[in-house]
Amino acid sequence: MKRTALLLPLVLAVPFARAETPQQILAYYQQQAGSASAARGEQFFLARISREGKTESCSGCHTENPKATGKTRANKAIEPLAPVANAERLTDPTKVEKWFKRNCKDVHGRECSAQEKADFIAFLIAVK
């Protein structure tokens, strides 16, 4: 009985670690944000951000079509963002969070909010 009581908080604290589908990952961020909007996610994806004399955007590397293959600044291929074009996309919570952290800092100069993450994932899921 004591063992169960000790494990229960751990199980409840890591729902994101158990996500295996884009919808489960969206649900995690939506729970934090309260909602998600594919339209806001698309605006976020296409937004041009001016920082330090440069204009950055997600679509700068990923292209404006989330079903297309993009290229890194080092000219390496980036698999499509949209799960409809890349079945592995948004299925590994650790990778999702890693890339949000890295790319949000590169483009926006800061970490993205749970709202931005929820909106962006909602957008990618909506791409057909």
By the 10 Å C-beta count (0-12 exposed, 13-18 middle, 19+ buried), 78 is classed as middle
The pTM assigned to this predicted structure is 0.84
CATH classification of the domain holding 105: 1.10.760.10
Looking at the domain assignment, is residue 57 inside a domain? yes
- Evaluate whether residue 120 is within a structural domain: yes
* d(C-alpha 126, C-alpha 123), whole Å: 5
Distance CA 69, CA 86 (A): 10
Q: Is the pLDDT of residue 12 over 50?
A: no
22 in a structural domain: no
Predicted confidence (pLDDT) per residue in 35-92, tens digit: 999 999 999 999 999 988 889 999 999 999 999 999 998 999 999 999 999 999 999 9
pLDDT band, very low/low/confident/very high, at 1 (cuts 50, 70, 90): very low
In a domain, 122, yes or no: yes
What is the span of the domain harbouring residue 118? 41-128
| Number of domains within the chain | 1
